[in-house]
Chains A and B, each alone.
Chain A
Amino acid sequence: MDLLLSNFWAYTIGGLAFGAIYALIALGYTLVYGVLRLINFAHSEVFMWGSFAAVWVLLALGAKGATGLGLVAFLIIGFAAAMAVSAAVALGLEFVAYRPLRKRNSPPLIALISAIGASYVLSEAMGLRDKPFKWFGADDNLADYVGRPREASPLPLDVPTVRLFYIFDYHVSNIDLIVLGSAIVMMVVLDQFVQRSRLGRGIRAVAQDAEAAALMGVNRDRVIRLTFVIGGAMAGAAAMMYLLKIGVTRYNAGFLLGVKAFTAAVLGGIGNLRGALLGGFVLGVAESYGSALFGSNWKDVVAFTLLVVILLFRPTGLLGESLGKARA
């Protein structure tokens, strides 16, 4: 208790930064769920691929040791690479694992099986990435990229921790600021996009009533592709933030984070964008306080217990379900 009280703001800001990462991944779950009523179990691997994309691109550009403006440029490149690759992987996932099922009107549980299969494939493909290069004998040249595929790969970027300003007694660092700032910017942009743009209206229409939307001339397949791309891009951004916060990624980094993010989506009310944001932040902060109160090895227990308790009192999450009805 004393630990939490004496470092209250440190735990709060730290929790919010992690919450932002959860929230961005949760957006992908919630968008797809809103439109397709489907748990996109493989979303966590989309995140993981994004994190590797950032690592590889920065390696290829020799980003290690950059300072000043160069560092800022590399940061932006890292974000762009992660978002692009994640969006592409999400799109491919939709095309290979979900579209054939939709064409056949499969029951939702079957889509879940396909998603589980895709999740294994994506994560194992990353865990075995040295194999195809070994056949061509190219694995030595590419050792930085594909060597030791089951080990953690570090982010090749030296971001010095600079303490910028105080919030009460906590000295906020540049990394906290980058993570929280970019997350909030992206959330606001997405929220406005879904609320105001034509495509966003299409997403809401399909979420509300897919058949009626199709009759009104909304191209359902295009809307679904769009939700996967947006969800993927958000996961990519989260991947870059994760790298900044944690520093390394590995082929199975997505799994637990994905479970947490899905928990966040459910906590806020799945299918509801603002719910995902709220859920992410609540989960992040609760975990952070939990680790202060009971020790860091209990923080996941705190997170899941919180979920169970909230679902008992609000069975559809904090803000209720439905992408269509909640105006966002």
Chain B
Amino acid sequence: MNPVSSFFHGVADRFRALPRWGRLVVLAVVVVLVYFLPILNPPVITTPDSDFGAVLFLCAMYALVAIGLNIVIGYAGLLDLGYIGFFAIGAYTVGVLGSAHAKVPLLLCIPAAMAVTLISGVVLGAPTLRVRGDYLAIVTLGFGEIVRLILVNADKLTNGNRGISGIPTPPSLDLFGVPHLVWDGFVARVDLDNQTRFIKFSVVDSIPYYWLALTLVFFVLFLDWRMQNSRVGRAWEATREDEDAAELMGVPTFRFKLLAFATGAAIGGLSGALFATKQQFINPDNFTILYSVLFVAMVVVGGQGNRWGVVVAAALLTYLPERFRDLSDARFLLFGLALMALAIFRPQGLMPARRNVRAKRADEETEVLEEGAAHA
């Protein structure tokens, strides 16, 4: 066992050994810390070359994307290389309804975005989920690119390459200010001049958006957990492991695949909507195929099927290139090298799903038994 995985396992074992209240306290502390991260602005971790709050917002938003794609790839085992298409549809639904053609308030735009992406997921999935494996990958890749090209070319609806600006922000409350910490080396000081208004959404401060995104992440994680532990989650697992066997056992595999696809699409749409309201300006360049590839990398790096794993991987893969911006030119090269190294040295991902680990171990045991019988 390599040091990385023994570290993770050690931490996980410690955590599980705690009494119930202890676990809750640890979780609460972690959650609070995560919320206050941009306020604390800790040295070493903070990003010297870009706005830390904005980077954290991106981390949370991509975590949301990864949770959605994890349902498609990790649970249902469908390789979707066009996830950016749903993200783009979500963002543009908000853009078109909220700014370009109507002035619908954001709180109505977001459910609309999710509904539109859900429908587009069903429309794309219904014909294509019948083809298996690698064909699905290329069909979805094509879909992602078609969406982008339509955004470029359907001038009247999407304003083409010029994009849509003036996308509405979420409603603000503006109750009180939260002062930031400023670090002088490793000595902290409270900076009363630099405050984040709770909770006022504006271009100047990304932190309220980060809080919003983080809340959505926790909310969706909760739904995801409930879903995976239900009949639906088990049906997905059965379909992923052996589609024919599942079908024979009476699982309507096609319907469940479609459900996974549509659920994933809706979450993609939600993250796209979040992106649109944060940026307030979107154009088709935000939605190239390369992002789809990056999303898949997040899910696989995290360990497909493990919701915490993909969240951590999404945050890391977003954060690291921003943190090391001084290596800016070479960061994609390093990213590529890291992916290759990961595939070779840790093929199960940083935090593999526990169910997969168990299944693998059981498989190995059976194999040993069978070999023993053959040699006897």
Contact = CB atoms under 8 A, between A and B. Distances in A.
A, B in one complex: yes
A192 interface: no
Given A113-B301, A297-B149, A301-B149, A124 B332 contact: yes
Interface size class of B (residues with CB under 8 A): 35 or more
B115 interface: no
Nearest to B330: A128
A117 interface: yes
B176 interface: no
Contact of A120 (B141, B143, B332): B332
Nearest to B127: A312
Contacts of A109: 73, 79, 300, 304
A208 interface: no
B347 A121 contact: no
At the interface, is chain A mostly helix, strand, loop or mixed? helix
Nearest to A117: B339
Interface string B138-169: 11011101100110110000000000000000
Interface of A: 33, 39, 96-97, 100-101, 104, 106-107, 109-114, 116-122, 124-125, 128, 131, 255, 259, 262-263, 266, 270, 295, 297-298, 300-301, 303-305, 307-308, 311-312, 315-316
B333 A125 contact: yes
Contacts of B336: 116-122, 124
Contacts, number: 126
A121 B139 contact: no
22 contacts: A104-B347, A112-B300, A113-B300, A113-B339, A114-B343, A116-B339, A117-B337, A117-B342, A120-B335, A120-B336, A120-B339, A124-B330, A128-B330, A131-B330, A298-B149, A301-B153, A303-B142, A304-B142, A307-B139, A308-B127, A308-B128, A315-B132
Interface string B233-274: 000000000000000000000000000000000000000000
A305 B145 CA distance: 10
A327 B117 CA distance: 44
A84 to B, nearest CB: 24
B12 interface: no
Nearest to B304: A109
Interface stretch (B89-97, B207-215, B289-297): B289-297
Given A104-B347, A114-B343, A259-B289, 15 more contacts: A107-B347, A110-B300, A110-B347, A112-B79, A112-B300, A116-B293, A121-B333, A262-B138, A304-B146, A305-B146, A308-B128, A311-B128, A311-B131, A312-B127, A315-B132
Contacts of B131: 311, 315
Q: Among A97, A311, A312, which residue has the most Cβ atoms of chain B within 10 A?
A: A311
Interface in B299-351: 300-301, 304, 329-330, 332-333, 335-344, 347
Given A116-B297, A119-B336, A259-B289, A39 B143 contact: no
